[in-house]
Structures are given as structure tokens and as C-alpha cells.
Chain A
Amino acid sequence: MINEAANPGEKSFYQVSTNKHTGILSWLLTVDHKRIGIMYLIAILSFFLVGVVIGLFMRWELMFPGKTIMEAQTYNTLFTLHGVIMIFLFIIPGLPAIFGNFFLPIQLGAKDVAFPRLNLLSFYIYVIGAILVLVSLFLPGGPIDTGWTFYIPYSIRTSTNVSMAIFAAFILGFSSILTGINFVTTVHRLRAPGMTWFRMPLFVWSTYATAWIQIIATPVIGITILLVIIERAFGVGIFDPALGGDPILFQHLFWIYSHPAVYIMILPAMGVVSEIIPTFSRRTIFGYKQIAYSSLAIAFVGYLVWAHHMFTSGMSDTSRWIFSLLTFIVALPSGVKIFNWVATMYKGSIDPQVPFLWVMSFIFLFSIGGLTGLVVGALATDVHLHDTYFVVAHFHYVMFGGTGTIFFAALHYWFPKMFGKMYNKRFAVISVVLFFIGFNMLYFPKFILGYMGMPRRYYDYLPEFASLQLVSTIGSWILAGAIFFVVGYLIHALYKGKKATANPWGGVTLEWHIASPPPMENFHEIPTITHEPYDFSQLKEMKYGE
């Protein structure tokens, strides 16, 4: 299928094993960053599809008022599982683990990441964490039903399998930390000669900023989870007010990690956008340094806003206005990026290929997500909207419309490089359009429903919400249809797709200078970098096109 030589006489990384094994073991024991990236792709994409199917079941239940297909308790476990899978198994590791692993070393001109074995270890830790989530479903006590936020006191008191499930999140955290350490070290130590900090592609910059959050923030959730487990097992009063604990402390600790984690999700996506837009506008990025610095700024100020998730929790009024103010400030660096992207396209010669279309739908959906974020970031409105469907709509727009959409953009942009095959572009265009329509049908009604007072995490609702709920459910079918269609034609392309050239899009970052799929160790000799990252004058010397 895909493992043909890229150039005549040259072997791709599919054909060379890093160990003495062949076949499946050459994959399972590999230390090649590209193979590890692909193993992550398979694992993460599978969990994503499971999450989508669970989402479809939830929407099915909500299609009509009253019980449709499941009991209330089943609904509780489903939204928890959906949240845990989507957050911890899909969206947090998604872009760094798949595309970061595959492309970060290549874009730096390196042969691999700094610690290849550690890289493999972090993959296995991810797998172990995922298995633990699955095991927790089948143990006595039943699957966890707390919501993905594990709020105290319910998570201390419910008899479901909380400890096991959150311990899985604890394990997954280590995978994230190790990946972060690996990337930070790689960026500092393995840049090719001439690859100065300000010649690094912006995807590298954003992955670097993300890696820092992974390292600094993740231990906080680790410790919090251990405290919950200790409290559940030994009745130590840390968070449960009945035992003298402070439940709001749990929310602080939870969000001290989980808010920066939303930047773990979005920063790499912003990096991908900063790759795709110049390539398809044939123009160097507008404000390279501002974008690079704004990644670092977002990574830092991302630590300052966590308590905006807690405006109605009963924390002090002083904290409430301080965190509301800080939240508005955080919108600035994101605004810088949107402005720079649009300015890059201005007067560019735009070639609206498939990855570019995904990015356009990202800009639309993410802007809606970001702007409604300001609505819930303002104290007065949040009191009305907290814990309603408005929030559900908001976070799907930012996470799914933002990072999720870019996951598909990245997949379509780099697919020919990763697999050496080109997919059917007509199918691809149809799928973007379907995705976009389905997405808005599924989630936009939730803004209105939330505004009208529909609470989140309810399996039943009042009759006046029925028509919008139905629209939303129909939207979920269109959206899921688009997603399965994408997976279908990409798998088809692996076997039957046309051979991709080294540079089908006319990109100029280093991955487009090597064969598709890349050879083992990426470069025959380490390149010396003489150009700015998005200097399209290089295209004259490079061969490109299909």
C-alpha cells in the first residue's frame, strides 16, 4: 500500500525498521518519531470515533422529550465518558502527539526527537491510561458518572468507579509531561545549523509553548487526583465539606490545570493555521515575531484565568472581578493571531485547496467560540448562562470547531507527506462543506437553548425546547456523516490513492524539501538553513506540484 520508495532507489521510513524486528514488532518497538506519530494517529483517531459515537447516542436520547432510548443514569455515564475520552484521549494529546511527533523534528532539520525511547514510553503510558479508562467501565460499581470535571462532593460520594477512572487521567498526564519534556529539549538542542529561533516555523513555536504548559501545569492535576483518591479511600477531609474540607479548593486545583490545558489544545492548532495560511496564500506570514511571541504570551497568561470557570461557585467577590478582568485581557493575544492570519491572506494569491478550506471554517467557528467566551467571561451574563447549553455550545465551538477542525486541516495538509498518497479532493471538499453545515446545525441551537434556560447534563427537557433539540440531533447525523466520510476516503487513499509528490502544495518549510513519505532519519545530511521559514522565493529552486 503506502510503503513504496519515495524517490527511485530511496527507502521510506515505512521500509526501514529501527530495530531488529520486522512486521508489527518493528512498529510496536520502534523509536522513530514518525512511526510513533502514526501509532498515535491510529490510537487517537479511534478514540475520537468512539467519542463521536457516544455523542450520537446522547443526541439520539435528546431527540424527543422524555425517555427515548436510555435511562437517566446511562445518560450520566455517557456524557462523562464522552467528555473524558474527548478531552484526555483526543483533544489534549491530539495535535502535539501526532503531528508534533511527526513534524517537529523534521521542521527543525533534526533526525529525531531528543529522547526517542522516552517518546515510545510516553506512547505506552498513553495506551495504559486509555486501557484503565476502559477497565473502569466494567468493574463493579459501574462506570463513572460525575461529568469530566469530577467535581467534589459528588465525586467523593458516588459509588461508581471514580478512583480508577481518574487514576487513568493521572497516568495520561505522565504521557503528556514526557512529550513536553521531549519537545522542549528537542527545540533547544537539535535545531539544524542556521535554524535560529526566529527561523523556526510557527508550528514549532506553538508546539514549544504548548510543551511548557504540559510540563508545568500537568503535575497540578496529578496531585489533585491523588488527593481525591486518598479522600475517597481513607476519608481524609481535604475537599468534602462534611469532613471539614473545602470543595472550592478542588475547583481551583482542577482548573489551575484544566484551563491551561485548553491552551494545550488550541496553541498547536494555531501553529498549524500559521503553516497552512502562508502556503496557500503564497505569502510570508504577516507579523512572524508577533505570532511567535503571542504563543508564549498565551501560554503564560493562560495560567491567570482559571477561576472564570468558578464565577458561580461561591468563591470571593474580589476573585470574581479579578478573574473576569484577566479573562478579557487574554482575548488580546488571540486577537493578534486572527489579525495576522487575515493580513497574511490580504493581497496574497490564494489557492483555496482542501486544507485551506478547513482553516477557513476554523476561523469562522473559532471566532464564534471565542466571542461567546467573552459572553460567559463577563460576570453578570455568566450568572445567567453558567451550566446551561450555552456553555456546551461555547466549548464545542472552541474545542471542536477550533482544535477539532484543525485536526482535520492538519490531516489533509500533511497526509500526502505522511503517507505518500493523495486523497480524492472532490470528496474532501464535499466533506468540509457537510462538516460545516452539520456542525452549526448541531451546536448553534444549543446557544439559543442555553439562553432560554436549558441546563447542561440533563437527559430530559421541557416541551418548549423540543424543536431546537430535534434540529440539533439532525445536525449530529450530518456532522458524523462528514467525519466518517473523511475517515473512509482517507483509508481508501492509503490503498488506492495517487502517489503524492514531495511538495504537492508548494510549501517551503523543511518537510516539503524531503521525499513523501520521508526517509528514515529524514535527511541524508543535516541541512543548513539560510532562509526565513516562509520565504517563497525558494519555490523557484524547488520542484512542486502533483
Chain B
Amino acid sequence: MEHNNTEKHGGSYTTLVLVWIGLLALTSITVTVAGISLGQYTLFVALLIAAVKSGFVINIFMHIKFEEPIFKVFIAVSGITLFVIFLLTFFDFIYR
């Protein structure tokens, strides 16, 4: 549709490359952390990093940051649902 937007907002190659490098860095942190024993917190740290990464992908690569509010609402609803599902699953995972 409005592809000019891509050029205008945050579409600059510098930003995209920076985000990409950021994502790679976070990936290597995930891998490194997996080797360190954090006990109970291993999973939480991994999930936190994954959440930050998807935040970047959704906002920049998927362009949601520059879209109408309605799309943000959509993403938020899906995100909240996912969060609730995770939360409820943890009641089994932690207390089993």
C-alpha cells in the first residue's frame, strides 16, 4: 500500500541495520546465558530476552510503530492473551 511510508519512517538503512545487529547480539546473549546455570531464573531470562527481541521485530521490521492505533490495539490484545496463557501454564510448571 503506502510504501513511501517505509522510506519515510524508520525505514532508513542505518536503523534497520542497527536493529539487526541488536537482534544478533541478543541472540548471542541467549546462547551464552543458556550455558550459565541460573537455576529457576533460566527460563525467565530466556523469555525476557525473547520478548525484547520480538518487540524490535514487531515495531521496526513489522512496522507496527508507524501504523494506526488500531493495529497497535490488535497487537496488544494478542500479546496480552499470549502473556496470560504463559502465566497460567506456569502454575503447572512451577508447582508440579
Contact = CB atoms under 8 A, between A and B. Distances in A.
Partners in one complex: yes
Interface of A: 188, 212, 215-216, 248, 252, 256, 300, 303-304, 307, 315-319, 322-323
B92 A307 contact: yes
Nearest to B80: A300
Contact of B78 (A216, A256, A307, A315): A216
B91 A319 contact: yes
Contact of B88 (A215, A317, A322): A322
A335 to B, nearest CB: 22
A319 B95 contact: yes
A316 B92 contact: yes
Interface in B68-96: 70, 77-78, 81, 84-85, 88-89, 91-92, 94-96
A315 B88 contact: no
The 10 closest A-B pairs by CB, nearest first: A316-B95, A316-B96, A318-B95, A319-B92, A319-B91, A315-B92, A316-B92, A318-B91, A216-B78, A322-B91
15 contacts: A215-B78, A216-B81, A248-B92, A252-B89, A252-B92, A256-B89, A303-B81, A303-B85, A304-B84, A316-B91, A316-B94, A318-B92, A319-B91, A319-B96, A322-B91
A318 B88 CA distance: 10
Interface residues of B, number: 13
A318 B94 CA distance: 9
Given A252-B92, A318-B94, 16 more contacts: A188-B70, A216-B77, A248-B92, A252-B89, A256-B85, A256-B89, A300-B81, A303-B81, A303-B84, A316-B91, A316-B94, A316-B95, A318-B92, A319-B92, A319-B95, A322-B91
A276 B78 CA distance: 32
Contacts of B94: 316, 318
Contacts, number: 40
* A-side interface mostly: helix
A318 B89 CA distance: 11
Contacts of A216: 77-78, 81
Interface in B37-96: 70, 77-78, 81, 84-85, 88-89, 91-92, 94-96
Nearest to A220: B85
A275 B46 CA distance: 48
Contacts of B84: 303-304
B90 to A, nearest CB: 9
Contacts of B81: 216, 300, 303
Nearest to A260: B81
Contacts of B85: 256, 303
Nearest to A315: B92
A300 B78 CA distance: 10
Interface string B16-49: 0000000000000000000000000000000000
A307 B88 contact: yes
A498 B77 CA distance: 48
B1 to A, nearest CB: 13
A304 B88 contact: yes
